[in-house]
């Protein structure tokens, strides 16, 4: 009974882990941009590794083999995101940038403009008295 | 079960290998190499279970260590053009 449950759970874990490994590999092959490929490769680095190794751990049972699998899991769990971050950081430092869509460019412009316009618009449009008060102080300061 | 996982990992390794040979930039290749190493670690572990010799897990752990250090070494080499000592002028001149 217990063996059947453990077998079924390890079946599910190993099959879904190999599914995520294939999904990450297909994404690494098919995605158009380096940054999206980075995203796809980290799927198989995290989900595939965890699911496959936990499934193998359940299949092995308690013992030295499970400890070895746990060590491999901990190591890959630390070094996978670290090396992915190192690749991303090296690519960013070397000047590779994400491809910007035209809508994204206008979005950044409209994001930049409200930072500058609210500083100028309330000064000019809100009260002329405030402007007349602000300008002599600026003139006195300068 | 392990046959299915080994076949899936083998297909995934081949797909990543295609990206490694056809990557447009250097960093695509490094990323594909790192992903290929991770898939290889999993493949060695599954192969150990498949052949009934779980001693392969030691080889898998060693491969994981070498893969990580190799990725960092490749990135450091292409950043500084040296694996050993890095001259101090290079990051200060760029930054």
What confidence tens digit (pLDDT) does each residue in A10-64 have? 999 999 999 999 999 999 988 888 888 888 888 888 888 999 999 988 988 888 8
Classify residue A13 by its DSSP letter: H
Of residues B74, B28, B93, the one with CA closest to residue A88: B28
Q: How many domains does chain A have?
A: 2
- Is A91 found in the same domain as A43? yes
Q: Give, in order, the Cα–Cα distances in Å from A37 to each of A20, A97, A107, B26, B69.
A: 15, 13, 24, 13, 21
Q: Of all residues in chain B, what percent carry a pLDDT higher than 70?
A: 89
Please give the residue that has the higher pLDDT: either A135 or A20: A20
pLDDT at A104: 53
pLDDT at B11: 92
What are the E-state strand segments in chain A? none
Q: pLDDT-derived band of residue A74, with 50, 70 and 90 as boundaries?
A: very high
- Is A129 found in the same domain as A82? no
- Is A71 found in the same domain as A20? yes
- Rounded Cα–Cα distance for residues A43 and A62 (Å): 28
Cβ pair A34, B28 in contact under 8 A: yes
A1-10, A69-78, A131-140, B18-27: least confident range: A131-140
Q: Per-residue b/e over A70-79, b at no fewer than 16 CB within 10 Å? A: eebbebbeeb
Q: Of all residues in chain B, what percent carry a pLDDT higher than 90?
A: 43
- Is A94 found in the same domain as A70? yes
Of residues A2, A23, A14, the one with CA closest to residue A54: A14
A-chain residues near B75 (CB < 8 A)? 86-87, 90
Listed in sequence order, the residues at least 6 apart from A100 whose beta carbon sits closer than 8 Å to its beta carbon are A108
Is the pTM value of this prediction over 0.80? no
pLDDT at B39: 92
Q: Give, in order, the Cα–Cα distances in Å from A107 to each of A12, A92, A98, A103, A119.
A: 44, 22, 15, 6, 20
Q: pLDDT-derived band of residue B43, with 50, 70 and 90 as boundaries?
A: very high
ipTM comes to 0.81
Residue of B nearest to A10 (CA): B1
The mean pLDDT of B83-93, rounded to a whole number, is 63
A-chain residues near B77 (CB < 8 A)? none
Q: Of all residues in chain A, what percent carry a pLDDT higher than 70?
A: 70
**Interface membership of A99 toward B (CB under 8 Å):** no
Residue of B nearest to A44 (CA): B35
- Cβ of A84 and B13 within 8 Å? no
Structural domain span for residue A135: 102-142
- Rounded Cα–Cα distance for residues A58 and A141 (Å): 75
Cβ pair B43, B9 in contact under 8 A: yes
Classify residue B88 by its DSSP letter: T
Q: pLDDT-derived band of residue B65, with 50, 70 and 90 as boundaries?
A: very high
B-chain residues near A41 (CB < 8 A)? 16, 31-32, 34-35
- Rounded Cα–Cα distance for residues A25 and A34 (Å): 14
Distance (Å) from the alpha carbon of A39 to chain B's nearest alpha carbon: 11
Q: pLDDT-derived band of residue A103, with 50, 70 and 90 as boundaries?
A: low
**Interface membership of B83 toward A (CB under 8 Å):** no
pLDDT for residue A136 is more than 80: no
Of the candidates A25, A37, A65, the beta carbon closest to that of B12 is on: A25
Q: pLDDT-derived band of residue A109, with 50, 70 and 90 as boundaries?
A: very low
Please give the residue that has the higher pLDDT: either B34 or B86: B34
- Rounded Cα–Cα distance for residues A17 and B28 (Å): 23
- Is A126 found in the same domain as A62? no
**Interface membership of A70 toward B (CB under 8 Å):** no
B-chain residues near A38 (CB < 8 A)? 31
- Is A128 found in the same domain as A81? no
């Amino acid at each position: 009974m217990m063996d059947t449950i453990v077998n079924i759970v390890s079946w599910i874990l190993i099959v879904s882990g190999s599914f995520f490994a294939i999904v990450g590999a297909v994404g690494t092959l098919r995605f158009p941009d380096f940054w999206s490929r980075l995203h796809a490769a980290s799927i198989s680095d995290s989900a595939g590794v965890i699911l496959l190794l936990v499934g193998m751990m359940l299949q092995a049972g308690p013992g030295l083999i499970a400890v070895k699998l746990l060590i491999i899991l901990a190591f890959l769990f630390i070094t996978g995101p670290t090396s992915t971050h190192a690749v991303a950081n090296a690519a960013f430092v070397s000047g590779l940038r994400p491809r910007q869509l035209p809508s994204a460019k206008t979005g950044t412009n409209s994001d930049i403009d409200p930072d500058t316009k609210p500083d100028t618009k309330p000064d000019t449009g809100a009260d002329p008295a405030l402007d007349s008060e602000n300008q002599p102080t600026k003139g006195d300061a300068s | 079960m392990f046959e299915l996982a080994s076949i899936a990992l083998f297909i995934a390794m081949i797909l990543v290998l295609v990206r490694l040979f056809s990557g447009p930039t250097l960093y695509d290749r490094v990323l594909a190499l790192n992903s290929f190493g991770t898939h290889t670690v999993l493949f060695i572990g599954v192969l150990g279970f498949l052949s009934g010799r779980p001693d392969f897990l030691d080889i898998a752990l060693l491969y994981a260590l070498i893969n990580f250090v190799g990725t960092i070494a490749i990135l450091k080499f292409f950043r500084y053009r040296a694996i050993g000592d890095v001259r101090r002028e290079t990051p200060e001149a760029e930054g």
